[in-house]
Every structure is written in C-alpha cells, then in structure tokens.
C-alpha cells in the first residue's frame, strides 16, 4: 500500500519491482539504477525497493542471470510505485493470481508502472482502461489486437495519473529521471542524468524509433515523402499517379528516383513494404491470414499467398507455423494500427488461421 501523504517528507519512497521470469535485464537496470544513483548523490536514502516474483523464488533475467526475490505475489507490500517487468513475450503470461493482486494494489492507490512488455500485463488485468499508455514497438501490434480500444501512444513513456507505462530499453532511464525530478527537483535529476552520460534529456513523447529518413539511409526528400505515403497506405495502396503527385514529379521521374536511390521500381518497393508488414502481423497477431492480406492491400487470398511465397519461399500459413516453433525475433517493421483497422472495416473476419 502507498505511504501516507502526511508522512515525513524525508521518508524514502518505496518501490516494488515485479519481475516475470525472462524479464529484460536492460529495462530493469535502466529503471532501478537512476534511483540508486539518486540515493548516492543525495547522500541519503531517497528510495528503497523490494523485488517480487510470482512464487517468491529466484527469477531469471533475459540473459539467464538469476535474481533473488524478496517476496511473492499476493504477500502484503508497502510501496508507493510498483514497476512491472514482463518477459519477452508478454502475451504468454496469464496468471489470475497476479492480475488480481495488481487490481488490489490499484484499489489501494499504489501507482502502477508497466515497463517494456509490462503495459500488456497491466492491460490484461484491466488496469489501463481509460488511460493513455505506451509499449515497446515490438509489442505494439499484439497489444492493439488484444486491446483495440486502447489509447496507445508511440512515445518513450506516458504518465497518466496513477498509471505509468514505458517502452523499456533505455527509455526506463528517462522515466526514472523524470520521476526523480518531480519528487526531488531539477538539480538532482540533472546530476543523475550526467552520472549515466545522458547528454540530452528525452521527453516522454519522443519517438521510440528512428525517423524514416534515418531508417532507410536516404536523403532525397521526394523519395522519403513517397515512402511515408506507402507506409501510411497499406490497406488501400495509393496509385502511381498519386504517388508521383506526392513527390511533385512525373511518374517517369519517380521511377528514375527509386531506381537511383533504392535500386528497385516503385511497384517493387511498395510490394516489399506491404509484404514486410504482412510478415510482421503473421508473427505478432492472431489475425487470420485473410485478414492480414486485406490489411496489407491484397484483395484476394490467392494473390496474397502467391506474392508472399514469391518473396519468402513459403506460404503465409507455413511461415506462421514456422515462427511459432522457434524463438521470437525482432519484427521487420512497426505494425502500427493495422490489426485494429482491419477489424473495424471487416468485422466478420475470424481471428484464427
């Protein structure tokens, strides 16, 4: 339960760290290390923390390193903020006892923070309804499929009343320093940032991913504008003349630009982007193959299957089965809102293969 607001201001803030087996070590360290540094730099204990696992036993990080838990889920805990660190596949975690415990903490006014895949667990417990949130871009499509009405943002972290969500990775450092600044002032937060060689503050709304220009390594503005239009128009692909208008050139000139900068035709590039998105949706969502084909601009299952097999040397269904039998890899691109959009436009489509 949270500390009483009328307690002595010198009393340390109590942090709970719920670690799910397989939790990302980088996400965990990025969050907890700034609080440790704040204690050292302030010369007094501003923060205390306790580690929690589902069963109270040792839990393993993504690297295989073991972490001893101080207590188990369900045991009494006194904390101001509870951080939830999920495993690499947060969709696979389903423990009613843990979800019920999180709901009890929420009713006790504990501030809940989901990190990396942690927001997925908070949402599954019903604790993000009506709240703005973010999640690591690798989990975005699965999150939108499971919680299509959620108010999901693409930034590093979101603080919305008593709910905190963070994309994980190094973004945990930014969130922790923001909390330190709110609770103990700008000067200490600045010192913590310098301690960790943080030369430039990153606000919560900053994008998790590189810009399109940085991702593709192309400086031509006309090509970048067309690529952005392609990525934004997958379900209903934009025609060639419209793409040329976006670039402000003729169709022939646009083809020349793509040949010079990307070494592929406009059509080949557009098809590649759509198929990469399809491959991502196959791996990260439960949408049917038919629904994924529609979401990526293929009006028939046969056309989708032929195009997919031509690029990846296997059918969409075969690729989904293969992916399910091996460890998850990073997705090829951000799935954005396709899972949500296709259900709204094609409500009769099944979620099964």
End-to-end Cα separation, the chain, in angstroms: 44
5: tokens are: 């607001």
Whether 43 and 83 have beta carbons less than 8 Å apart is answered as no
pLDDT tens across 68-123, in order?
999 999 999 999 999 999 998 898 899 999 999 999 999 999 999 999 999 999 99
The domains of the chain, with CATH numbers, are 13-195 (3.40.50.880), 212-345 (1.10.10.60)
Q: Please give the average per-residue pLDDT across 132-149, as a whole number.
A: 90
* pTM of the complete model: 0.73
The rounded mean pLDDT for the chain is 89
- Predicted local confidence at residue 64, as pLDDT: 94
> Which DSSP letter does residue 138 get?
G
Instruction: Provide the pLDDT for residue 211.
Output: 74
pLDDT, tens digit, 9 for 90 and up, residues 16-71: 999 999 999 999 999 999 999 999 999 999 999 999 999 999 999 999 999 999 99
Better pLDDT: 48 or 283: 48
Distance separating alpha carbons of residues 115 and 122, to the nearest angstrom: 10
Q: Is 140 exposed, middle or buried (0-12, 13-18, 19+ CB in 10 A)?
A: buried
Q: Name the CA radius of gyration of the chain, rounded.
A: 23
**Quick one: which of 77, 59, 53 has its CA closest to 22?**
59
The pLDDT confidence band at residue 238, using thresholds 50, 70 and 90, is: very high
325 pLDDT band, cuts 50/70/90, is: confident
Say how far apart CA 27 and CA 353 lie, in whole Å. Answer: 33
Q: pLDDT confidence of 9, banded at 50, 70, 90?
A: low
Closest CA to 304 of 340, 334, 336, 342: 342
Count of all residues that appear for the chain in the document: 353
What pLDDT is recorded for position 8?
45
DSSP per-residue string spanning 94-127 = --HHHHHHHHHHHHTT-EEEEETTHHHHHHHTT-
Backbone angles phi, psi at 39, to 5 degrees: -60, -45
């Amino acid at each position: 339960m949270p500390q009483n607001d009328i307690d002595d201001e010198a009393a340390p803030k109590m942090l709970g760290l719920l670690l799910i087996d397989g939790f990302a070590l980088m996400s965990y360290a990025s969050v907890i290390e700034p609080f440790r540094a704040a204690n050292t730099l302030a010369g007094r204990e501003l923060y205390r923390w306790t580690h929690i696992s589902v069963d109270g036993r040792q839990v393993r990080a993504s690297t295989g390193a073991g972490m001893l838990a101080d207590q188990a889920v369900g045991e009494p805990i006194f904390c101001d903020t509870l951080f939830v660190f999920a495993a690499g596949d947060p969709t696979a975690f389903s423990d009613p006892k843990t979800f019920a415990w999180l709901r009890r903490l929420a009713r006790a006014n504990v501030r809940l923070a989901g990190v990396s895949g942690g927001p997925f667990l908070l949402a599954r417990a019903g604790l993000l309804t009506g709240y703005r949130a973010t999640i690591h871009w690798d989990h975005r499509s699965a999150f939108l499929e499971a919680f299509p009405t959620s108010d999901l943002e693409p930034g590093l972290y979101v603080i919305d009343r008593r709910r905190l969500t963070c994309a994980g990775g190094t973004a945990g450092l930014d969130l922790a320093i923001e909390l330190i600044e709110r609770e103990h002032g700008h000067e200490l937060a600045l010192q913590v940032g310098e301690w960790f060689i943080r030369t430039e503050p990153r606000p919560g709304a900053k994008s998790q991913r590189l810009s399109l220009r940085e991702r593709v390594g192309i400086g031509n503005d006309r090509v970048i504008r067309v690529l952005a239009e392609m990525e934004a128009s997958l379900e209903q692909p934009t025609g060639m003349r419209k793409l040329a208008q976006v670039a402000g050139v003729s169709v022939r000139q646009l083809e020349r630009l793509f040949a010079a900068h990307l070494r592929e035709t406009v059509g080949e590039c557009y098809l590649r982007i759509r198929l990469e998105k399809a491959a991502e949706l196959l791996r990260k969502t439960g949408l049917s193959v038919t629904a994924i084909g529609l979401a990526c601009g293929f009006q028939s299952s046969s056309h989708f299957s032929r195009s997919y097999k031509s690029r990846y040397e296997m059918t969409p269904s075969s690729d989904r089965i293969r992916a399910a039998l091996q460890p998850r890899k990073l997705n090829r691109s951000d799935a954005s809102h396709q899972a949500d959009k296709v259900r709204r436009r094609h409500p009769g489509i099944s979620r099964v293969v």
